[in-house]
Amino acid sequence: MRIALAQINTTVGDLKGNSEKIIANIERAKRLGVDCVVFPEMTLCGYPPEDLVLKPHFIADNIKVLRSLKRHSRGINAVVGFVDRDSSGRIFNAAAVLSDGKIAGIYHKQHLPNYGVFDDRRYFVRGENNPVFQFGKLRIGLSICEDIWPDDGTHIEQAKRGADILLNMSGSPYDIGKLEIRQKLLARRAKEAQAFVFYVNLVGGQDEIVFDGGSCAYSPKGNVLASARLFEEDLLVLDVDSSVVSKKKRDKNVAALFSGKEGKKPGVSAQVRPASEKIERIYQALVLGTRDYVLKNGFKKVVVGLSGGIDSSLVACIAADAIGRENVVGVSMPSQYTSAGTYADARRVAENLKIGFHEIPLNPTFDAYRVALKDVFKGLPEGVAEENLQARIRGNYLMALSNKQGWLVLTTGNKSEMAVGYCTLYGDMSGGFAVIKDIYKTRVYELSRYRNAIEGGQVIPQSVLDRAPSAELKANQTDQDSLPPYDVLDEILMDYIERHRSFKQILKHIKEPQTVQRVLRLVDQSEYKRRQAPPGVKITPRAFGKDWRLPITNKYREY
């Protein structure tokens, strides 16, 4: 018995494109002698489709396309995710087992996540049946994503009913520690159920979410037997000796025979891909998330404001790696406050990366604003208004290029800045995609060093890594004039944002009450800015996106 896990990159709403991809993978599986090919969660409509499933015609169309897939299942079985609707209009997150030209069975997801980035209960009704599919001599317990996560998940009942294999179709978003958590969970579930676990995960970026793939197979002893690529499409083919499996004797009954490009012959030994380092995975997630946002939204090129600072340098690298250096344009927009060092570094980053480069001067436009605003500003001291104006002129330059050339603007703000509001609405926040909005400043440095290391040279100049961060919006300004050092700041932020720690709890290990109070106040006061920020790649367990739903009007202050 040969089973293939088709780890594909779907696009939300692209019923035609997704079904073509499904068909191509079915055909490929047939050529490889596969008996059953399994796809990730909501294969047909893409995941998460969000409020698209509130449109009755969208669901009707997705069912129509599912039916058109039936004929491709002649001589093979294919398990495909879709949105199901019953006769009373209830909607389900579902999987169809296509077999020999027919729909042989349908499964409805039972555990509907409604936390973090997930809103499953906004749309779906909980499935009621927990079928174990007989597949030759094998009993397969089918489940969808969350179904296998809670301790009272579908695996309990499926194990009782003698499932040999727990087959889970997932759309499990990447975050920084998720892979290890997932691996441990799947190993535990395999042992608990005394069954093999075959896990197929989605891969690709969808708005702020990145699915990391990493489909895999576990033995009943909890050993990993095979794993697919991370952050890339893959087809993992597993041979199952059903006569032995059904006795549940040994780990070797399932061997990953093949994982990789078509054309290679199936091998004989299980292939387990070593997971890359955390920092590498973060970088890959940023690259994939950026690539898919840009390309799936129909853009070919991007433009990045290059300040000569570390944030924009890193974003330029990610952009070049995502869509090719020939499709990235850097723009330097120096002002009277731009130092010679940053001025030179902006150009140097563009040269090192071999991306396009433009320079547009800021001062004349800034002067025009000052003249225009002279009367209404009369008698008032210079301050934030003038600083923000400079950021906004730069934002306008980039948007003008975007409008004129059809390039997508990538913003360059990091999570530390987004958290405390150290960023300008309609200024440096202007753009379609905020690549590193979930990367703390300390991690920006880590990633920059990582990027330099894999290039085997200094793409990001050492001077950029060494210079004290500054917005350069007034004379002799550095970030640390108004913020604590970034290592302290980031520790406070992680405590407050990701660990839901209170002011008092944070004080237990950061013994600077005034600093902590200031940071917490800045975070709370900046909600209105975050609400108008572009989306960006989710990296942490709690990003400033769908998993961060704080009210703007909010008088809660515990400090």
Q: Which residues of 298-332 are buried (b: 16+ CB within 10 A; e: fewer)?
A: ebebbbbbbbbbbbbbbbbbbbbbbbeeebbbbbb
Which of 21, 36, 45, 145 is catalytic? The answer is: 145
Regarding 413 and contact with a second copy (CB under 8 A), the answer is no
374 is catalytic: no
* Contact pick of 13, 105, 162, 260 for a second copy (by CB under 8 A): 13
* Contact pick of 253, 388, 442, 540 for a second copy (by CB under 8 A): 388
Site for a second copy in 192-251 (CB under 8 A): 205-207
* Residue 146 and residue 109 in contact, taking contact as beta carbons nearer than 8 Å: yes
Nearest approach in angstroms of CB 455 to a second copy is 28
User: How far is Cα 357 from Cα 320, in angstroms, rounded to an integer?
Assistant: 13
Q: Beta strand 77-85 with 91-99: parallel, antiparallel or unpaired?
A: antiparallel
The full length of the chain comes to 559
* Residue 145 and residue 110 in contact, taking contact as beta carbons nearer than 8 Å: no
Whole-angstrom Cα Rg for the chain: 26
41 is catalytic: yes
Q: Which is nearer to a second copy, 125 or 310 (CB)?
A: 125
Nearest approach in angstroms of CB 498 to a second copy is 11
User: How far is Cα 476 from Cα 19, in angstroms, rounded to an integer?
Assistant: 57
Site for a second copy in 21-80 (CB under 8 A): 46, 48-52, 54-58, 61
Q: Which is nearer to a second copy, 380 or 468 (CB)?
A: 380
474 is catalytic: no
Q: N- to C-terminal Cα distance for the chain?
A: 62
* Contact pick of 3, 5, 15, 435 for a second copy (by CB under 8 A): 15
* Contact pick of 155, 392, 437, 443 for a second copy (by CB under 8 A): 392
Nearest approach in angstroms of CB 16 to a second copy is 8
* Residue 357 and residue 347 in contact, taking contact as beta carbons nearer than 8 Å: yes
Regarding 17 and contact with a second copy (CB under 8 A), the answer is yes
Site for a second copy in 114-143 (CB under 8 A): 114-115, 119, 121-122
Report which of 235, 257, 238 is spatially closest to residue 6, judged by C-alpha positions: 235
Nearest approach in angstroms of CB 51 to a second copy is 5
Report which of 481, 557, 554, 551 is spatially closest to residue 520, judged by C-alpha positions: 557
Which of 21, 30, 36, 41 is catalytic? The answer is: 41
Q: CA 91 → CA 82, 141, 142, distances in Å? A: 10, 22, 19
Nearest approach in angstroms of CB 103 to a second copy is 23
User: How far is Cα 98 from Cα 78, in angstroms, rounded to an integer?
Assistant: 5
Regarding 308 and contact with a second copy (CB under 8 A), the answer is no
User: How far is Cα 514 from Cα 559, in angstroms, rounded to an integer?
Assistant: 10
x/- mask, a second copy, residues 345-374, rule CB under 8 A, reads: -------------x-xxx-xx-xxx-xxx-
Nearest approach in angstroms of CB 206 to a second copy is 6
Contacts of residue 152, Cβ cutoff 8 Å, sequence gap at least 6: none
User: How far is Cα 443 from Cα 285, in angstroms, rounded to an integer?
Assistant: 14
Regarding 101 and contact with a second copy (CB under 8 A), the answer is no
Regarding 152 and contact with a second copy (CB under 8 A), the answer is no
Q: Which is nearer to a second copy, 4 or 8 (CB)?
A: 8
Q: Which is nearer to a second copy, 103 or 373 (CB)?
A: 373
Nearest approach in angstroms of CB 496 to a second copy is 9
Question: Residues in contact with a second copy, total (CB under 8 A)?
Answer: 88
Regarding 432 and contact with a second copy (CB under 8 A), the answer is yes
| Residues involved in catalysis | 41, 109, 145
